[in-house]
């Protein structure tokens, strides 16, 4: 017992190399005095035996004699059946502090922080260096390398930063909420740049009047905005004036839930490269496509570029060599992209003559039974129109806005300008029997290549192209956006102030009220083309 105590008892600093030990604290023990003195006598005798030459040995012996006398006076206290009610460290009957007292003490000692009220304005991104790292702490576990990283050697633009984040191999930054955050940040800085450009405009030595009302100058650089598509529409009108009316109008839709290449790209993005696509159920395909809009959008553009190479290299596909084109990407309500394209082909006869009618019958079909099993299966799967709620949106007469069921006709017939407008811009009625009234127009070769819903119609007169420009190329923002913009302009004009602040307020109002799908967000952040010619 003493050897164990000797190994753990601390020595004094003055006698660190001696055999003297120091007890720095004594806890009261609930034993009789005889037991305490007996322990003390044993301790003193052992110390004296270890170092008999110690100058304190005499004092230790004297204390030992006094302890013996005290022990003799308390012999009656010895009881072999005494219950031990103490421990080595502290008595077991000591009062343990309660949880509430500890918490109150910690709260009193803790520093006080001032929290902002919920009515306080949100934190501005450009005022907080680590705002992104703090907001997305689970994406930035080390708290650095965000948008405003101060230690970055080479500064980059917000668009380049967002594009590098969401197009990297790490799928963490392809979350839907982070993509919306990146889009808002990119548009915020782009709007500030546009306002700076507008403020540098000069009419003589003064700033031109009406900058706040002329939103086209301020917003045309923001892709997807109304001003952006107005600029695209002006370019299309210039092409029509120089090249004449186009020959074909082509629409290609995304078949994201049935294209194996897109599903495989989404599986790779999800880290499930070896999984078999055929084993995926329909609801799992839906979740996969919704979760990875970046992979879907990028792969859709791969298919678009591939079909464009086919159209440019195959002169017989549309009846002549493709000499020019114009297309734009539009997004459905559920978010999937589709393409609208105008084609100019050389060597095409006039559609009003018999040769033109024969070319239409050769290039465009609406038959559900062709004798080709693969083609018939594709037509039944992707070309049959089925009515939905969107067919009757904003329709007072209860008619499908896509013109289904189509008219039964024995021969292909051309329509006049007035009839073409009533026929949704289609100036040609294809040869069609009663079984095919719900079959959309298609080209057999293109349908086998694209394997998705498509529409092909001749567009060989000014009426058809005018209808296309009004319906597709010059689409306006929703009505609520226009009213919000009017209210914003009235508000900033009422308060007055700096022109730059007024322009920025109107720009942010437009951006906040626009409806953006997941795929459109991916197109704009990845800098994928929304139009080309």
What is the per-residue pLDDT across 94-104, written as a single tens digit (0 to 9) for each? 566 665 665 55
Residue 134 has pLDDT above 80, yes or no: yes
CA distances to 59, 173, 390, 391, 462 from 400, rounded to whole Å, are: 114, 41, 9, 5, 25
- Looking at residue 456, its pLDDT comes to 92
Q: Cα 219 from chain centroid?
A: 23
- Looking at residue 453, its pLDDT comes to 92
Q: Cα 356 from chain centroid?
A: 49
What is the per-residue pLDDT across 216-271, written as a single tens digit (0 to 9) for each? 666 777 888 778 888 888 888 888 888 888 889 899 999 989 899 999 999 998 88
Question: Angle 82-86-88 (CA atoms, 0-180°, nearest 5)?
Answer: 125
- Other residues' Cβ atoms within 10 Å of the Cβ of residue 435: 11
CB 347 within 8 A of CB 319: yes
Token pair, residue 298, equals: 């990028």
Distance CA 149, CA 143 (A): 10
What's the N-to-C CA distance of the chain in angstroms? Answer: 96
Distance CA 323, CA 241 (A): 15
Question: Angle 49-54-57 (CA atoms, 0-180°, nearest 5)?
Answer: 70
* Among candidate residues 213, 231, 208, the one with its CA nearest the CA of residue 221: 231
Residue 159 has pLDDT above 80, yes or no: yes
Sign of torsion, CA 309 312 313 316?
positive
Buried/exposed 113-150: b ≥16 CB within 10 Å, e otherwise? eeeeeeeeeeeebeeeeebbbeebeeebeeeeebbbbe
- Looking at residue 215, its pLDDT comes to 66
Residue 70 has pLDDT above 60, yes or no: no
- Mean predicted confidence (pLDDT) in 308-325: 92
Contacts of 332-336 spanning 24+ positions with Cβ under 8 A: 332/253, 332/517, 333/390, 333/517, 334/517, 335/290, 335/293, 335/517, 335/518, 335/519, 335/520, 336/253, 336/254, 336/256, 336/296, 336/519
Place of tokens 């609520």: 480
Alpha-helix residue ranges (DSSP H) falling in 176-281: 176-199, 215-219, 226-243, 260-269
Highest mean pLDDT among 80-94, 322-336, 462-476, 507-521: 322-336
Distance CA 503, CA 199 (A): 9
Predicted structure pTM score: 0.71
CB 159 within 8 A of CB 147: no
């Amino acid at each position: 017992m003493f050897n164990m105590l000797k190994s753990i008892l601390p020595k004094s600093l003055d006698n660190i190399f001696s055999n003297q030990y120091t007890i720095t604290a004594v806890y009261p023990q609930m034993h009789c005095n005889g037991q305490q003195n007996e322990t003390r006598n044993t301790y003193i005798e052992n110390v004296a035996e270890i170092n008999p030459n110690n100058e304190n040995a005499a004092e230790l012996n004297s204390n030992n004699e006094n302890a013996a006398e005290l022990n003799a006076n308390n012999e009656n206290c010895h009881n072999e059946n005494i219950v031990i009610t103490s421990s080595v460290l502290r008595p077991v009957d000591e009062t343990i502090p309660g949880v509430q007292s500890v918490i109150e003490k910690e709260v009193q000692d803790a520093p006080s922080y001032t929290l902002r009220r919920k009515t306080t304005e949100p934190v501005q991104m450009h005022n907080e260096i680590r705002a992104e790292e703090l907001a997305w702490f689970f994406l930035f576990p080390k708290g650095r390398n965000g948008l405003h990283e101060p230690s970055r050697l080479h500064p980059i633009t917000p668009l380049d930063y967002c594009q590098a984040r969401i197009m990297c191999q790490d799928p963490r930054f392809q979350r839907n909420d982070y993509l919306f955050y990146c889009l808002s940040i990119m548009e915020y800085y782009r709007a500030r740049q546009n306002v700076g450009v507008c403020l540098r405009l000069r009419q003589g030595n003064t700033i031109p009047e009406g900058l706040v009302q002329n939103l086209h100058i301020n917003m045309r650089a923001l892709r997807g905005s109304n001003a952006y598509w107005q600029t695209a529409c002006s370019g299309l009108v210039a092409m029509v004036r120089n090249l004449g009316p186009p020959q074909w109008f082509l629409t290609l839709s995304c078949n994201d839930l049935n294209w194996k290449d897109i599903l495989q790209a989404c599986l790779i993005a999800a880290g499930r490269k070896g999984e078999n696509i055929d084993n995926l159920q329909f609801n799992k395909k839906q979740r996969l496509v919704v979760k990875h809009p970046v992979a879907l959008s990028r792969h859709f553009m791969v298919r678009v570029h591939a079909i464009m190479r086919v159209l440019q290299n195959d002169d017989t596909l549309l009846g002549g060599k493709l000499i020019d084109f114009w297309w734009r990407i539009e997004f459905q309500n559920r978010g999937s992209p589709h393409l609208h394209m105008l084609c100019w082909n050389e060597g095409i006869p006039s559609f009003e003559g018999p040769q033109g009618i024969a070319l239409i019958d050769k290039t465009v079909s609406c038959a559900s039974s062709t004798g080709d099993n693969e083609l018939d299966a594709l037509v039944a799967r992707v070309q049959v129109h089925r009515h939905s709620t969107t067919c009757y949106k904003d329709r007072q007469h209860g008619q499908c806005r896509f013109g289904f069921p189509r008219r039964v006709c024995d021969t292909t017939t051309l329509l006049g300008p007035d009839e073409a407008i009533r026929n949704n811009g289609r100036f040609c009625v294809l040869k069609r029997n009663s079984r095919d009234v719900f079959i959309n127009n298609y080209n057999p070769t293109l349908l086998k290549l694209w394997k998705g819903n498509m529409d092909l119609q001749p567009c060989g007169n000014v009426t058809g192209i005018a209808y296309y420009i009004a319906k597709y190329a010059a689409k306006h923002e929703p009505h609520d956006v226009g009213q919000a913009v009017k209210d914003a302009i009235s508000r900033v004009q009422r308060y007055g102030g700096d022109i730059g602040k007024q322009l920025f307020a109107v720009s942010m109002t437009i951006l906040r009220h626009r409806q953006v799908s997941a795929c459109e967000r991916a197109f704009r952040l990845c800098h994928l083309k929304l139009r080309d010619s």
